[in-house]
Chains A and B, each alone.
Chain A
Amino acid sequence: MNLVVFFVVAVVAVASALALVLRRNPIHGALFLVVNLGCVAVLYLLLSAEFLALAQVIIYAGAIMVLFVFAIMVLIPGKEETGPDPLRPQRLLALPLGAVLLLEIALILKSSVFQAAQPVAPPPALPAGAGGIETVGRLLLRDYLFPFEVTSVLLLAALVGVLALAKRKAG
């Protein structure tokens, strides 16, 4: 059952990712990216990471993608990529390069270095509720409290930076 769900979701995820890259219109790309992010959220659920699935839907599919759609609407792009492409040979070169990258990743995943990192014993069974909000919340606010607080400083810095960038010069 899980396997069927995984394959259906995986196919949709890959198809929407391809559509994001291939569609000319960036607004279509943004909507396909939302589909892709939703698929990844379902995969998180399959991996029993409920908190992350929720965060994925709220932060990514909610906040970040709304920001993207806003930017696309404001900037009215979509005419940039219709003209002739002066760098077409370079762009075509990207496809074999991508294939080489995929091959490299597959080789690394198959290599002995990576296999040696496998757990010797069978993985400990997750305690009940692991991956749930309770476990992750405990980890976030106890073991990873300092990085968690540093994150708030990062977000504040991003906020101030965006305001400084977006402000029109007076006069």
Chain B
Amino acid sequence: MVPESYYTALSAILFTIGVVGVLVRRNPLVIFMSIELMLNAANLALVAFGHRFGAADAQVLAFFVMTVAAAEVAVGLAIIVTIFRLRRRLSVDELSIMRW
């Protein structure tokens, strides 16, 4: 039997790695993948808590998170492809048109 606190600790570590990835990397695709990492860490914590409280509702919530992540990835990748078509380069540092 694995204590739930181990799962929360692992999920905190994975989430932090995702945050560092978003801050450090310059490629928008890798930034997107780091966001997926964070969503997964949150899901893991959710399921661990659901396991502790004996509620299967947490799994339904995690399932909804997965669905929203799928929609988000589809739209995000379409935006990245459109940007690439317009500018032929793909670096978040150069995308400053909307900055005032």
Chain A residues at the B interface, C-beta cutoff of 8 Å: 2-3, 6, 10, 13-14, 17-18, 20-21, 26, 29-30, 33, 36-37, 40, 43-44, 46-49, 51-52, 55-56, 59-60, 63-64, 67-68, 71-72, 74-75, 77-78, 80-81, 85-87, 91, 94-95, 97-99, 101-102, 105-106, 109, 119, 123-126, 130-131, 135-136, 139-140, 143-144, 147, 151, 154-155, 157-159, 161-162, 165-166
The residues in B between 42 and 63 inclusive whose CB is less than 8 angstroms from any CB of A are: 43-44, 47-48, 50-54, 56-57, 59-60, 62-63
B90 and A64 contact, CB distance less than 8 A? no
Pick the contact of A20: B34, B44, B59, B75 (CB < 8 A): B34
Pick the contact of B77: A47, A67, A86, A123 (CB < 8 A): A67
Q: How far is the CB of B25 from chain A (nearest CB, A)?
A: 7
A94 and B37 contact, CB distance less than 8 A? no
B12 and A106 contact, CB distance less than 8 A? yes
B77 and A14 contact, CB distance less than 8 A? no
Query: Which of the four size classes fits the interface of chain B?
Result: 35 or more
Task: Give 10 closest A-B pairs by Cβ, nearest first.
Answer: A94-B23, A158-B71, A21-B21, A98-B20, A165-B78, A105-B12, A124-B54, A162-B78, A102-B16, A17-B17
Given contacts A95-B20, A166-B82, contact A68 B33 (CB under 8 A): yes
B20 and A21 contact, CB distance less than 8 A? yes
Consensus secondary structure, chain B interface: helix
Given contacts A3-B1, A131-B51, 19 further A-B contacts (CB under 8 A): A17-B17, A20-B33, A40-B40, A47-B7, A49-B51, A52-B47, A60-B69, A68-B33, A81-B27, A81-B91, A91-B24, A94-B24, A105-B12, A109-B8, A125-B54, A140-B60, A154-B68, A161-B78, A162-B75
